Chain A
Amino acid sequence: MKRNDWETAFGDIPGSFCATVGAAVTRMQRDPRPNPHRKPALILAAAIVIAASTALALSQFGVLDTLQDTLRAFLQPGASQLVQTDIAQTARQPRHAAFTVEEAINDGHRIYAVIRVHGDGDVLLMDENAEASWTTDWWQGGEDADSYSKLAYDTNRTLVQASVYPVDSQGMALTTEAAQIHYDGEDIIYTVSFPAQSGQASLQLFTYEVYADGKTHSQRQGFGQLDITVPVTDARSFYAAETPVDLPVGNMTLTALTVEQTPIATYMTCEYEAADGAPDLTYVNLLDGVWADWLDENGEPYPEGTNSNSLTPTETGQTRMVTVYRAFDVLPDTVTLRFHNGMTGETFDTITVALYPITGEEN
């Protein structure tokens, strides 16, 4: 069993920390990066390509079109009816940019939203993943456009990085799907996904001037907030499995399993705990993080529909795992789960349980 993944999970370990960063540096070196250097002969061609791709992209910035591939490829017929375009929203905008939610879906489990960020006339916006030396067409795989820095410099504009973070009602950051990033002209188009707590949601808005130009850190920052209302759809169906189920290899017990199906995605919630008399190692595994893969008929894990699956303790001391998968035409009658320690990779039990429908109230 290799342990490098486990190693990185242990926090501040000076030796391995250095080794990890060293490896990351090496990985960065081999990862293709946007070429910061413009090729003059290609300026015109690049401009034409950008204009053409922008025109094409303009018709593709709906929330369904900007979902992660694993969800977009399996959208069910009712999905488009869930899209809301007239989003009630109130905003306190940060300096330099205006954030607007253009489309959103609230399927009861998650909110998916397309957010347009439009810069003031004297700024050039840069998305949260970009760096100043990257070309402005990096997000579509290009590397021939000007860098953000050069474009801002040539047009005498302030380079500003714009970000958006969903928060809960207490202002605490929510686990967010990595934003999908597009540009429409110089507007940034973020598609974010985050847990739906109700029909209301708040987004914290952040801008940051990339270059100090004599300003302090705080003078370069801009803060705002966007509150939106996105009613929950009724197009949901719920299923459950009989529990408890013993997990003898891992010395655990599966105490609950529910599946929620919408036209956008399928959400699975599992709760499990250490079995009576389980050794301390079981509790250590649970503290490390025990996850369950949903296996298909070939024994392969279904691709996950999000990068932000969650593992949280319940009030009664159990572990609750919520995972997101593609929507199904017909939900399988059974669910096969393979439990493993997410840090060490050690695998435990593989079980198959039957699903039966339940009402939303029973969920």
Chain B
Amino acid sequence: MKRFLNILAACMLLLAVLPGAYAQSETNATVVIGDGASIPYLEGIESRLVSDAASIAGITGAFPDTEVYAVSDLQSWTGTWCYELENLVLTDDVLGVFFKQTYSEPIPYDGHGGYDYNLTARIPNILVDGENLSTLSQFSEGYPIDDTSQYSFVLMSLPQPIADGQTLTFGAQWNSDLQAWEGGVSVTVDRSRANDPTVAYTPSLNVKKTMALWEGNAAVEYDFTVERVAYTPFGNRMLIRFTGTCERNQYLDCRLTDDTGAMLNLIPTMQRFQTNASAEHPVENLNEIWFFGGEGSQSLTLVPLGGNWETSNTSHRTASVTLNSFPADVTLENGVTLRVESCALDEGGFYALYTTDGYAGYVSFDLGDAAGNSLGLVFAGYQLDDHSLGLLGYGGYWCEEYQGNTVSRVTPEQLAQVKTLLIDYTVGFPELIEDEKIQVDLTE
């Protein structure tokens, strides 16, 4: 993991220093945000990221006839993608692209069922006025059209807004000899007609405090500013700017409550840090928290997580619900109610949607027999939330593709034994460190 984080940091560094010069791209049309154009992607499907087209009508605009060609960014894929850009989503918080992507040969899905389409949804690289687009979090989904193409939607959160009149370039390639970007297609953004339903606050709350959250670790001095809280059509975000002097004070692992004390459900996002931060060379580092709920709350409260890792091994608990009775409420050991809204199960895997009304620690799911005992099925688990419904999601797949055949690790006999959904959760670890909670006022 150390190596992974180093690579991640190196990638971020590389993106930060790539020169901005780029070759003029071929076209320069305009996308008018709020143009009222239809969104073909949303016709006939239930999107996991968009509740309905009307909810985003004021923040989308149709691309002109725009095709972008790019080689595959997957090492094992040798073909070429054609991206047909259809609609752009743009607010101060997010940039999203609805597009059709077509491969030069049948798309080599990995056999993971519907989850494959989410994995395959990939947007070509984007420049803003010739500079690499900087993003924080990314959410994606897709669904198939035929064996060589699929509809995709990629939504990215922004560290700073893209202004009216700025130019977006899709699919440009970096020419290392010329030290310049080449090709791609460009569009100018017209935000003058936008009607953004986002409700945003800029609390600009600066927090400077020293917290000892994890036993055995030294206290960490935090210096951060809660810059923005935005209730967007795609979920809600809190943007925090950290002044980092080491790797550990550039993010805050925490939970959120509203002004009634209700715990909000958090959408997992990647937290970033820079490894060259020090007291002598502090760095500015943006991180964000995505969450569901809290609309209308007068304040939000950050409750840091901490505790003693030594207790983690004894913190795991399991509860179960039968698969034929949804929604189902499960009272966990700490009194929190976890509601399983649904659980889809087929020959390729399962996918459960749920919420909690309190802090349930780390939650994952498994499949069990009628007595609630794990069947020990071998599957790959993943978190995939439903932004349109405001629900957390957890799924697992047990299939892979081999020479065109879908190979399952779970036999039909094993599948027939599946009667319960098992909820793995933790009690007392990590702990909510209530003494260190931080209230963010949203009244002004």
A residues bordering B, Cβ < 8 Å? 1, 3-4, 6-7, 10, 12-19, 21-33, 35-37, 129, 131-133, 143, 147-150, 152-153, 210-212, 216-217, 279-281, 283-284, 287, 344-346
Contacts and interface: CB of A to CB of B under 8 A. Distances in A.
A251 to B, nearest CB: 13
Nearest to A218: B17
B17 A133 contact: no
B377 A16 contact: no
Interface string B81-118: 00000000000000000000000000000100000001
Interface residues of B, number: 62
16 contacts: A3-B378, A7-B382, A10-B380, A14-B138, A14-B140, A15-B268, A15-B382, A16-B381, A18-B270, A28-B5, A29-B214, A36-B245, A132-B277, A132-B278, A280-B403, A344-B378
B119 interface: yes
Contacts of B306: 29
A280 B111 CA distance: 13
B67 interface: no
Interface string B371-382: 000001111111
Interface in B278-311: 278-281, 305-306, 309
A281 B362 CA distance: 32
Contacts of A32: 216-217
Contacts of B246: 33, 36, 131, 133
Contacts of B119: 12-14
B276 A28 contact: no
Contacts, number: 152
Contact of A26 (B281, B380, B396, B430): B430
Nearest to B4: A24
B430 A211 contact: no
B253 A26 contact: yes
B213 interface: yes
A287 B110 CA distance: 13
Interface string B1-32: 11011000000011001010000000000000
A29 B212 CA distance: 11
Interface in B348-401: 362, 364, 376-385, 393, 396, 400
Contact of B139 (A14, A147, A212): A14
Contacts of B281: 132, 149, 153, 211
A222 to B, nearest CB: 16
B52 interface: no
B405 interface: yes
A26 B214 CA distance: 10
Interface in B252-283: 253, 268-271, 275-281
A147 B247 CA distance: 13
Given A133-B277, A149-B280, A287-B400, 15 more contacts: A6-B379, A7-B381, A14-B140, A15-B383, A15-B393, A24-B1, A30-B216, A33-B218, A36-B279, A37-B218, A133-B246, A148-B278, A149-B278, A149-B281, A216-B17
A8 B378 CA distance: 14
B381 A4 contact: yes
Given A18-B268, A284-B402, A3 B1 contact: no
Given A15-B384, A280-B407, A284-B402, A27 B278 contact: no
A211 B278 CA distance: 10
